[in-house]
Every structure is written in structure tokens, then in C-alpha cells.
Amino acid sequence: MSSMKTHLQPKISFKVRGYQCFRSNRIGRSKGGILILVRINIDAIQTTTHMDDSEFQVLNVKKKDFYMKLVNLYSPNDKPLSLNALPAVGDFNSHAQSWGYDHIYKRGEEVENWQDDQKLNLINKPEDQPTFYSRRWRTTSCILHIRHRCAN
């Protein structure tokens, strides 16, 4: 599975051999949106798409006895970050030392506080290699990976 923000135009088809494409185009703009690719041997149904201040998709995923709710989220820099309304995690456009940056943004602090309040664990380690390279800005960044804490 893979999730990402896109720069696709709504009328242009996007396919990857061996994968189902769940796509949510950006409304009112000529390009953009988000998508999730799921291997064709995994059952998946898109249940929610939301495109207000943050863009997100929710998929129910099943393979044999394994069930998962997968959420793909993108929060643009120019929109307010409303963490209380979010069902899960994604691309918050935020920086913090805990996921590999040498500085912290206000958004990074908000995400860290939200993570603690929701009892979520950060999977990333500060020393992990960056997961994204922007050709436009020639910079690297780390996509945030968070999961629910296990009860002890």
C-alpha cells in the first residue's frame, strides 16, 4: 500500500499495474488531491473522502483475518490545522526534532501535543533517512508515521 498527495488533473486517468487506485481529486482546482494505492490481492473499500481545510480518505482494508482502517491525509500549509476533527495521521506539513528535523515549527509542536493527547506512538526515529525528495525545492523531508499505543 502507498498513500500520497498528487498533482493530477481530474480528467487524467492514473493506473499502476497490480494496484487498485483510490483517488480523491481537489475540488475547484485544475490539479491536485490525494490517492492511495492498494495491491489488487487486498480487499479495500473507500468509505470517506473529505476535502475542506484538510484532505483525507478513509479505506477499510482486509486480507484474510487482518482488518485495518487506512487514512491518507494532507494538510496544506495555507490552511488551518484542525487536529481534533481528524480520524488519523498524514502529511501535516510540520517539522519537529522528534521526526528528524533540526528545528520545530508551531505545527510540529501542535502535532506532538496531539500525538500525546491521543496516546499515539511515533514510529519514525530522528536518525531515519528522509522519505521524500522535492525536485522543485531540492529538499528532503520525513513523512510522519504514527500508531496507537499498545495497552500494557
Residue 87 is which amino acid?
P
Query: Do the domain assignments include residue 29?
Result: yes
Same domain? For 43 and 6 the reply is: yes
User: Would the pLDDT of 60 be above 80?
Assistant: yes
Query: Do the domain assignments include residue 11?
Result: yes
Same domain? For 126 and 69 the reply is: no
Residue 27 carries which DSSP code? T
Question: Count of domains in the chain?
Answer: 2
Residue 136 carries which DSSP code? T
Same domain? For 8 and 57 the reply is: yes
Same domain? For 69 and 102 the reply is: no
Match 484542525 to its residue by C-alpha cell.
82
- Once rounded to an integer, what is the mean pLDDT over residues 30-54? 82
User: Would the pLDDT of 151 be above 50?
Assistant: no
Single residue among 42, 75, 108 that ends a domain in this structure: 75
Query: Do the domain assignments include residue 56?
Result: yes
Query: Do the domain assignments include residue 133?
Result: yes
Query: Do the domain assignments include residue 82?
Result: no
pLDDT of 152 reads 43
User: Would the pLDDT of 43 be above 90?
Assistant: yes
DSSP string, 82-132: -GGG-SS--B-----GGGT-SS--HHHHHHHHHHHHTTEEE---TTSPPSE
User: Would the pLDDT of 34 be above 90?
Assistant: no
Percentage of the chain exceeding pLDDT 90: 11
Average pLDDT over the chain reads: 78
Domain that holds residue 45: 1-75
Confidence of residue 18 (pLDDT cuts 50, 70, 90): very high
Structure confidence by residue, pLDDT tens digits, 63-108? 888 888 877 877 777 777 766 655 555 667 788 888 778 888 888 8
- Once rounded to an integer, what is the mean pLDDT over residues 22-40? 82
